[in-house]
Structure 1
Amino acid sequence: MDMLQAMRVFVRVVDAGSFTAAAKLTDMSTAQVSRLLAELENHLHARLLNRTTRRLALTEVGARFLERSREILAQLDQAQAEACGAHLTPRGRLRVHSTTGLGIQLLAGLAGRYAERYPEVSLDLTLSQHQPDLLEAGLDVIITLSRELPDSELIAQRLGEVGNVVCAAPGYLQQHGVPQRPRDLQQHRCLRLADPVFADEWRFIADGAEDVIRPGEAFKVNVAEAMASAAEAGMGICLLPDYVAAPALQRGALLRLLPRYRLQEKQIHALYPSRRFLDAKIKTWLDFLAQELPLALAHHQRILADPAHWA
């Protein structure tokens, strides 16, 4: 017996006042309605209705069961409406993970603007240097930063590209001089960012030629913002992502070195489980990032390209 169907028919019988009227409303025969109510009573081991040829009357048990049935069916209808409308209206909790620097410098500000646009969405942004398992962590979207598209069964959407620049504090350069070529960095204290892409070597490309520099071990840290702070304190020369370097360059706390050389970029991707029945809060977040993130990255590029911020 389908308990939910039986509860719905029971409520219809009470509201309609007869088996015949309920049968018309439920597209069933009167005999089917009568049989289903009998099966429901047998299943519950309780009499729900007293029947005569002219009228129906609820028993005490039937009245209580009717009240609970209405509550359960109303909650079920509400849950079904919310689930069916999930792809139409962005609402609920959106769980996003990102690398620390990208989250602090870019996503946190964008999240505030997204929240203004979609006030029914509550956004949880978690930051760390290690990428969690999306499904095990109960996440909706992971924002990654890597040289290549991550090897994953998840759906990946490219959101932009991040470059890297070499920087140092004005005080450090005044004391130790300004390197003019990548090979000059071998005479300087080069700080090392614990990064899977740039951990062991910095590759400079210009005019089709490539120079490779290996940073030292005098100072090593795994968060780019901490590296920027160390460089601002005059500890040495560092390699920073665009979005970390740009604010420090704009403040004058750091200066860009070797601007004519290009370093390898990283790709920003959003990872999510499936395109099928994509929840509206996920779709609007992805669409928002696809529109706004390139604008933020372009703003940083303009700062980096300004000679006023070069050594």
Structure 2
Amino acid sequence: MDKDIAYLLKVFCTVVEAGSLASAAERLDVQAPAISKALARLEILLGNRLLHRSTRALQLTDAGTLLYQEGMTHLLSLGELLDRVRGQNHQLSGSLNITATPAVGEQLITPLLVDFSIRYPQLQINLLCTNEQIRLPSQSVDMAIRSSRQLEDSSLTSQLLLNVRRLVVASPAYLQQAGTPRSPAQLAEHACLHFYHQGILDAWDYENGDEVGTVTTQSRIRVNSYASLKTLCLAGRGVARLFEYQVADELANGKLVKVAAQTNWGHQSLHAVYHGKLAQSVKLQAFVTAFRQRYGE
């Protein structure tokens, strides 16, 4: 077997994930010709064409699809094995790559990393905050923190981390000016602030005792950032639907107040999603344990 097969496999899987040779070269910090040479060498070694290349896109052959699916699993297993061997000295090392939305990454994960990084000083931690859902499995991401249990690949698994309540809130100044809505239906007559990502979230589901319904809200301001949404709400620009962890401080100091406080506005379930081969990963489970301990799930 070619002694560099692990490197060639890594290059191939990175090309598939990145979608182009140039993007793969950037991720691996090498020149594009080196990527092309590695792919050619791998195809010669295996006696099979793995990719159809054009100026517009890369398309996997049947052999390439098989190699990517199985190869990714073996690369992850190899990485996990090396981490376990390094961990024999009882110190987590290597790298832990996490992706999450900006709201979750900034307000839940970043505070957690303060103590976590002190506890595991030899562990390199990389946090990518983005509203885009990065496809897994991936060499660049060990774990994704998501609000959906839907898995795009049968090789993936998920663990429930936390259930967080949605709240509808407004500033005292807004309520003094516009009046306080006492029921979900009355929100249709108020200025509301909308979050949008792949669609405008203007239909707010709720439960009031035995009553289950949806109120369609109206807004002149729409943003794709929960931080911006909260800033606008604090400034009195309207009513916002936010998660409890996002407004806990503002509720405590009175800068925001709950609207229709007896109404159940639903919740979000946060899951850790990762490849099944990493289920026994010491560094992943250390992070999951730390998250649950901090946030009480």
TM tier, shorter chain? 0.5 to 0.7
Q: Secondary structure at the match of 2:191?
A: coil
Deviations, residues 218-272 of structure 1 (Å, cap 9, x unaligned): 1111111110101111111110011112122223221111111101211110011
Deviation >3 Å, runs of 4+: 81-84, 86-89, 134-137, 195-198, 275-279
In proportion to residue count, which structure has more strand? 2
Residue in 2 that maps onto 1:284: 286
Contact 2:137 2:274 in 1 (8 A): no
Match of 1:230 among 229, 232, 235: 232
Contact 2:84 2:282 in 1 (8 A): no
Take 2:2 and 2:239, find their aligned partners in 1: how far apart are those partners? 71
Residue in 2 that maps onto 1:172: 174
Q: Secondary structure at the match of 1:219?
A: strand
Greater Rg by CA: 1
Take 2:112 and 2:146, find their aligned partners in 1: how far apart are those partners? 16
Match of 1:240 among 239, 242, 258: 242
Matched residue pairs, number? Answer: 218
Take 2:283 and 2:102, find their aligned partners in 1: how far apart are those partners? 22
Unaligned runs of 5+ residues in structure 2 are 4-78
Match of 1:218 among 213, 217, 220: 220
Take 2:166 and 2:281, find their aligned partners in 1: how far apart are those partners? 34
Contact 2:99 2:128 in 1 (8 A): yes
Residue in 2 that maps onto 1:127: 129
Residue in 2 that maps onto 1:67: none
Residue in 2 that maps onto 1:161: 163
Alignment of 1:135-154 (within 5 A): 135-136=137-138, 138-146=140-148, 149-152=149-152, 153=154, 154=156
Take 1:83 and 1:210, find their aligned partners in 2: how far apart are those partners? 49
Unaligned runs of 5+ residues in structure 1 are 4-78, 296-311
Q: Secondary structure at the match of 2:286?
A: helix
Contact 1:189 1:237 in 2 (8 A): yes
AA aligned opposite 1:287: T
Contact 2:192 2:238 in 1 (8 A): yes
Deviations, residues 135-182 of structure 1 (Å, cap 9, x unaligned): 346111111123xx1233311011111111011111111111111111
Q: CA 1:198–1:114 in 2, change beyond 3 Å: closer, same or farther? A: farther
AA aligned opposite 2:85: G
AA aligned opposite 1:85: V
Match of 2:96 among 88, 94, 97: 94
RMSD: 2.7
Q: Secondary structure at the match of 2:136?
A: coil
AA aligned opposite 2:281: D
How many Å apart are 1:199 and its aligned residue?
0.9
TM-score (norm 2): 0.67
Take 1:276 and 1:168, find their aligned partners in 2: how far apart are those partners? 42
Identity, % of aligned pairs? 25
Deviations, residues 107-137 of structure 1 (Å, cap 9, x unaligned): 1010111112111112111101111123346
Take 1:121 and 1:213, find their aligned partners in 2: how far apart are those partners? 47
How many Å apart are 1:82 and its aligned residue?
4.8
